[in-house]
């Protein structure tokens, strides 16, 4: 298969950021009240991801290894600000509906995960397609979860009435507890049918510094990673003292 096409398929099916990798839980739970919100959030994240992936991949030979994280933060935050301003100017409804979750794309694990694990090591072309694949996978997943919640919670999909008039909406599904419930059922079904998902340990660990596995994160893992980083900065300090 063509390597660009392979990246697209990988992002949408094989390593879908929500259904398989379980990254970016906060937006997944927060904005899937309706299918429309899912599309808005998914595409905004996709644009940020594609742009950041391309920029980081283009700069990967110039960014010093030790200070790469601040570089990534600045690039991603700039892209988010651009998307935020564009939405504010041209798509006011989407901006109002998503509110604070637009600037919070900066701290979405998916973006840092892809930038760190993929774009920083690969060429601009494949990184671009990796961003498109991951972004589309994220959008598809958000729309599916959003449609499900909207269907049960309000009887509509994309604000179009689907359920018969006699259907009494189960409003808990469009309220905060419903978000947790839908995700709980989803992961339980994945366990039941043995589908690959980060929550049942069938997905290999990603190359993220912290493992990227938020669902199974333990303090010990973080502590060991952190002591490596802290160790290197201590060394730097001692060098400076000797000077």
Partner 1 sequence: MKSDYFVNLLLIFISGALINNVILSQFLGICSFLGISNKIKSAIGMGLAVIFVITSSSVICYFIYNYILAPLDLSYLNTIVFIAVIACLVQFVEMVIKKYSPALYNALGVYLPLITTNCAVLGVALLNVEKGYDLVESIVNGFAAALGYTIAIILMAGIRERMAHNDIPKSFQGFPITLITATLMAMAFYGFSGLV
Tally of CB atoms within 10 A around 7: 24
Q: Confirm or reject binding of residue 217 to partner 1 (CB under 8 A).
A: yes
Report residue 124 as tokens: 């601009």
For the CB of residue 12, give the shortest distance to partner 1 in the complex, in Å.
23
Query: Which phi-psi region, left, alpha or beta, contains residue 22 (left: φ > 0; alpha: ψ -120 to 50)?
Result: left
Q: Confirm or reject binding of residue 89 to partner 1 (CB under 8 A).
A: no
Q: Note the Cα 64 to chain centre separation in Å.
A: 25
Q: Say if residues 182 and 27 touch (Cβ distance below 8 Å).
A: no
In the chain, which residue ranges form alpha helices assigned H by DSSP?
A: 3-9, 25-31, 35-59, 68-90, 92-98, 109-114, 124-154, 176-192, 219-242
Tally of CB atoms within 10 A around 29: 16
Chain residues 9-28 in contact with partner 1, contact rule CB under 8 A: 25-27
Choose between 175 and 232: whose C-beta lies nearer to partner 1: 175
Binding residues for partner 1, rule CB under 8 A, total: 50
Q: Confirm or reject binding of residue 222 to partner 1 (CB under 8 A).
A: yes
Q: Confirm or reject binding of residue 159 to partner 1 (CB under 8 A).
A: no
Q: Say if residues 11 and 137 touch (Cβ distance below 8 Å).
A: yes
Q: Which of 180, 205, 228, 235 binds partner 1 (CB under 8 A)?
A: 180
Q: Confirm or reject binding of residue 191 to partner 1 (CB under 8 A).
A: yes
Q: Confirm or reject binding of residue 107 to partner 1 (CB under 8 A).
A: yes
- Alpha carbon distance 41, 101 (integer Å): 8
Q: Confirm or reject binding of residue 66 to partner 1 (CB under 8 A).
A: no
- Alpha carbon distance 137, 17 (integer Å): 7
Q: Provide the mask over 24-53, with x wherever binding to partner 1 is found by CB under 8 A and - wherever it is not.
A: -xxx-xx-----------------------
Q: Confirm or reject binding of residue 207 to partner 1 (CB under 8 A).
A: no
- Alpha carbon distance 144, 136 (integer Å): 12
Q: Which of 63, 104, 163, 203 binds partner 1 (CB under 8 A)?
A: 104
| Residues found near partner 1 in the complex (CB under 8 A) | 25-27, 29-30, 70, 73-74, 77-78, 80-81, 84-85, 99-100, 103-104, 106-107, 109, 112, 172, 175-181, 183-185, 187-189, 191-192, 199-200, 214-219, 222-223, 226, 229
């Amino acid at each position: 298969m063509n390597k660009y096409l392979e990246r697209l398929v990988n992002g949408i099916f094989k390593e879908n950021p929500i259904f398989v990798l379980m990254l970016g839980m906060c937006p997944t739970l927060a904005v899937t009240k309706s299918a429309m919100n899912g599309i808005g959030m998914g595409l905004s994240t996709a644009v940020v991801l594609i742009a950041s992936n391309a920029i980081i991949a283009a700069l990967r030979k110039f960014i010093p290894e030790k200070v790469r994280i601040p570089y990534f933060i600045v690039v991603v935050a700039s892209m988010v600000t651009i998307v935020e301003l564009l939405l504010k100017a041209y798509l006011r409804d989407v901006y109002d509906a998503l509110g604070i979750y637009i600037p919070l794309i900066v701290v979405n694990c998916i973006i840092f995960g892809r930038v760190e694990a993929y774009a920083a090591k690969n060429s601009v072309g494949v990184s671009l397609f990796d961003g498109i694949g991951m972004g589309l996978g994220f959008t598809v997943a958000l729309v599916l979860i959003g449609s499900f919640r909207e269907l049960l919670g309000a009887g509509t999909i994309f604000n179009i009435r689907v359920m018969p008039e006699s259907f009494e909406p189960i409003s808990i599904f469009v309220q905060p507890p419903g978000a947790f419930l839908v995700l709980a059922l989803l992961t339980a079904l994945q366990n039941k049918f043995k589908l690959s998902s980060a929550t049942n340990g069938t997905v290999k660990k990603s190359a993220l510094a912290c493992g990227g596995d938020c669902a199974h994160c333990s303090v010990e893992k973080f502590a060991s990673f952190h002591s490596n980083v802290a160790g290197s900065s201590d060394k730097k300090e001692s060098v400076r003292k000797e000077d």
